[in-house]
Amino acid sequence: MGGAIKNAHRSISLILSFVNAPGMATINGLEAWLLSQGFEANIESVGLEDVAMTAELRDGLRRWIAADGPPPAQVMESLNRAGRMTPLRLVVAEGGSTRFLSTGLSSVDRSMGEVLAAVHDAITAGVWSRLRVCRDPSCGWVFFDQSRNRSGVWCDMAVCGNRAKARNYRARRRASRS
């Protein structure tokens, strides 16, 4: 069981890094994310097609997380398209734990395969449902809900939660004055 939990934590970390990474809409931004995650990247080999593929996968994952349930049909199509382009290999470790390893030829293919494998790990470990999109309209950050009853709505109570509470307080004060 310890290996599954360790894989799930690593998977959640990769998923959060992927869906929250700034600047991935450019070749330089995608390359920077690849390097930050330990994927070898060569700026000459990363192209606009790679940027488009990662953008589609990121958007699909964000929309699935925001749906708070099964993925919408359009999201499933997008994720399945990415899955067909990223070969994975099953690895069995000592003790019988398993995980998928991406065998893509390019760093982008390998990274997208690792992200999809991380989604599988998170679902299998039962932690996918704890991913949430922050309810603060000015934020939109994806976070892992660590609350016991799975009721977290803000990525950070001290920032986004405080902003929401302050807005609600000001709205109540305005309403009581009128």
Q: What is the pTM of this model?
A: 0.84
Where are the chain's structural domains?
Answer: 2-131, 134-178
Structure confidence at residue 55 (pLDDT):
94
Residue-level pLDDT at 30: 94
Residue type, 75: V
Which H or E run includes 155?
A: none
When pLDDT is averaged across residues 83-96 and rounded to a whole number, the result is 88
What local confidence, expressed as pLDDT, does residue 117 receive? 93
Give yes or no for residue 130 having a pLDDT over 90.
Answer: yes
